[in-house]
Amino acid sequence: MSDACSEPAGAIRAIDKHSVHQICSGQVVLTLATAVKELVENSIDAGATNIDVKLKESGAEQVEVADNGKGVEEANFEGLTLKHHTSKLRDFSDLIHVETFGFRGEALSSLCALSDLSVITCHESSQVGTKLVFDHKGHLVQKTPHPRQQGTTVSLQQLFSTLPVRHKEFQRNIKKEYAKMIHVLQSYCIISTGVRITCSNQNGQGKRSTVLSTSGSQSMRDNIGAIFGPKQLQSLLPFQQVSPTENVIEEYGLKDADLPKQLFSITGFVSQGDHGVGRSTTDRQFYFINNRPCDPLKVTKLVNEVYHMYNRHQYPFVALNIAVASECVDVNVTPDKRQIFLQEEKLLLAILKTSLIAMYEGGVNKISLNYTPPPSTSKNTPLHVDPHISIIRFILFLCFFIDATSTSEPCRAVLSNKNKAEREEDTEPVILSPKSSLNLAGLKAAFSSHYSSSSGKSSKEKASGSGTTQKTLQSFFKDPVKTSSCNSSLKSPLKYTRQLDKCSSAGKSVLDGFRYQAMSCEDTDSQKDSAGSSCNIAEAKPDIQCSDLESSPPKVDKEESSTFSNAGEKQSSTVDAPVSLQRRTVHLQFSLAELGKKMRRLQDQQKQRAGEELLYRRFRAKINPGENHSAEEELKKEISKEMFKEMEIIGQFNLGFIITKLKSDLFMIDQHATDEKYNFEMLQQHTILQGQKLIVPQKLHLTAVSENVLIENIEIFRNNGFEFLIDEDAQVMERVKLVSLPTSKNWTFGPSDIEELIFMLSDSPGVMCRPSRVRQMFASRACRKSVMIGTALNVNEMKKLVVHMGEIEHPWNCPHGRPTMRHLANLDVISQD
């Protein structure tokens, strides 16, 4: 070490192997879930049909994974835990066709560096097992005979003990780590058909409790039922794959001719779209690519978005396995192999979206949005009008209205559904401007093609609706007009109208030629607008006189330029002559101490100005609903809880707002919102809901993990009004029964609130929390008992409300989202103005 320290700090040298091993190992295994995942994957790769995961103290003390796989041959004992030693690959080209979970040879080596690792194994060719003990470098240090049947047992003692900081953090968050590990293990239980996986945990000297168990079924559906219970199976739909529609293909920018056929094969299950069968969180979403659990972010987002089209307030249960050729997948992206790159990912998303929409559209209790009621025969009933007709009528009306306001000649059009005789009497020739007539011609063609495609309608509908409208439109175009080629958009009539408004026409518009005799332009903007369209109006021959606004460079006469050049030549021909200079010294009064004082004074002034500028700029957000988030962030940053006591009460505004002053800043506080938030948080903290006993205890069919979370946080459930009957000796998913439910006037609660509370406690064990429906009840009560808008308050009452804001955790908005406080102004800025 002394030699290493004596080298220059900037010297580049190789890191020693031991340090490299520790650094890299810490990147491969990051959590308890990763450690268990690597061992379970090794067991599955070994062909095991029975895998048993045993934990002590939720994995903080010991992790043991035993299987009945092939075992390890004696020739491989030395290289079993060495870095980058594997039997799965020989060179890089093998990576394309690898089908096993592990292939890099990093897992056991990293686990050796992070824990005390031992292996008991017995190969099918051996008569007796062998116990192997490895050091932190992965070297075999002890080998002894040990009785064991065929298979392998890997034991980890004191995981992360070699990294003190990570080990302390791991022990502090052991409940979260344990919950994440169970969720990862559930994914392998679902996809591993024909493999029986069990997981158990032992806390202290207590009894070992089974957390997870599957029966080794050959069906993914049976595995889901074994993990989550039969109730979950009742709400699932088998995934039915269909080819993407043309609209979806266009949405993802794909070309139907270039799409590969039968590239993806998707199987699995998703929740039904009916409200109540989904889940309040995304805790049961599992995705697999070639039977490998993964986290495809885009796929997850798409599935949830489609599900929210049919069930806005819940999330689906998802278990989807995507089968694709191995050469189209790159699994070697992250150390845990959870992130995967796919070829033709857009095609996969298109297939998923089309399939899910088709599944949910075909569900029960759905009414098609395209349903059109049959037309009534009653005369008083208004006729059904196609939405396209309404849009075209509106565009036509807009064009004629604009032309009527921009030209001196009247424009008249008839768009009402009158009978034929009335139309022939009322319809008159229509005088159009060039632009509007050009667009109307295009609209007529589009309108005619629309109705030619809908010729399969009933005769009654043709007679009553479409036929009448078609004849009415024909009356507009029965007089032939000469049109020029135009490719302008629908915005061009508006632009042309602006040009007509600002240009005075000297002649009349003539229907047959659209010729304008003379025109004087008054605004250059109209030139830009008219130049933007691609209409060719060569016949019009307008006589337009516009001033050229482009500035040309000033012209210089040849004589002047020659004069300048001659002057330059004369100057360059002069010769320098010696010049005598008189120098004199001037003595200045200078004091270094005085200079230091001036410098310090200048620095103080700059600091004061910077402080004042900082004070002025502390609050930038305006009182605007669009800036609520930025305003809240500013208040969180600048206002502390102690500052509320220091605020000076200025008065009450409009019997609804309290004006306060803190130093030179003025704030406006909503008296109702701030009192509501204080009452809400007090109810959250101190209210104990009373429960209503059930006649017969209700089975909840919770998973083993959920049961453990409930048992460990039983007091929080009691404070929320839930009472349970717990039988530790019962089977998994039958240990907990509900015996009492919270009730409060018109509010009732049920098992869904229990599941939501379990999910919240999985992330924050031991923290008092409330289900969302209990929160809604407290918000309603807090609102009713708070100071209302319109109530006059004295100074003491206003001061009490302001001080209460410093006693709660989140004083910036009420439970319903209404802001409680906003910055009004800074008095220093106002005084300067």
Q: What is the pLDDT of residue 818?
A: 86
Mean pLDDT in each 10-residue stretch from start to end of the chain (833 residues)?
52 74 70 92 91 92 92 85 65 60 75 91 89 88 90 92 90 88 93 93 84 89 90 90 90 81 91 85 91 91 94 91 87 77 89 93 55 45 48 55 44 39 41 42 52 45 43 44 40 40 40 39 40 39 40 42 41 52 77 87 79 61 79 84 89 92 88 92 82 87 82 87 85 85 80 85 79 85 90 92 89 86 82 57
Q: What is the pLDDT of residue 529?
A: 42
Cα 434 from Cα 414, distance rounded (Å): 20
pLDDT in tens, 13-39: 777 777 776 666 656 788 999 999 999
Going by C-alpha positions, the residue among 342, 306, 315, 308 that lies closest to residue 327 is 342
Contacts of 318 (CB under 8 A, 6+ apart): 268, 269, 270, 271, 284, 285, 286, 287, 300, 303
Residue spans per domain, the chain: 17-209, 235-361, 401-455+481-498, 618-833
Going by C-alpha positions, the residue among 162, 116, 122 that lies closest to residue 18 is 162
Is the pTM here over 0.85, yes or no?
A: no
Cα 179 from Cα 708, distance rounded (Å): 10
Structure tokens at 767: 């923290």
Q: What is the pLDDT of residue 351?
A: 93
Helix/strand/coil percentages in the chain, nearest 5? 40, 15, 40
- Residue 66, classed as helix, strand or coil, is strand
Q: What is the pLDDT of residue 515?
A: 40
Structure tokens at 66: 């035993």
Cα 299 from Cα 239, distance rounded (Å): 14
Across 645-745, the runs of DSSP E, i.e. the strands, are 648-653, 657-662, 665-670, 691-699, 723-726, 736-744
Q: What is the pLDDT of residue 549?
A: 38
88: exposed, middle or buried (C-beta count within 10 Å: 0-12, 13-18, 19+)?
A: middle
HEC per residue, 591-625: CHHHHHHHHHHHHHHHHHHHHHHHHHCCCCCCCCH
Q: What is the pLDDT of residue 613?
A: 52
Q: What is the pLDDT of residue 517?
A: 39
Q: What is the CATH number of domain 618-833?
A: 3.30.1540.20
Going by C-alpha positions, the residue among 332, 335, 337, 333 that lies closest to residue 27 is 335
Q: What is the pLDDT of residue 832?
A: 57
Q: What is the CATH number of domain 17-209?
A: 3.30.565.10
Structure tokens at 383: 């006729």
Cα 719 from Cα 5, distance rounded (Å): 60
Cα 62 from Cα 721, distance rounded (Å): 37
Going by C-alpha positions, the residue among 119, 125, 120, 185 that lies closest to residue 148 is 120
Q: What is the pLDDT of residue 799?
A: 92
Buried b (16+ CB within 10 A) or exposed e, 645-684: eebebbebeeebbbbbeeeebbbbbbbbbbbbbbbbbebb
Q: What is the CATH number of domain 235-361?
A: 3.30.230.10
Cα 238 from Cα 536, distance rounded (Å): 60
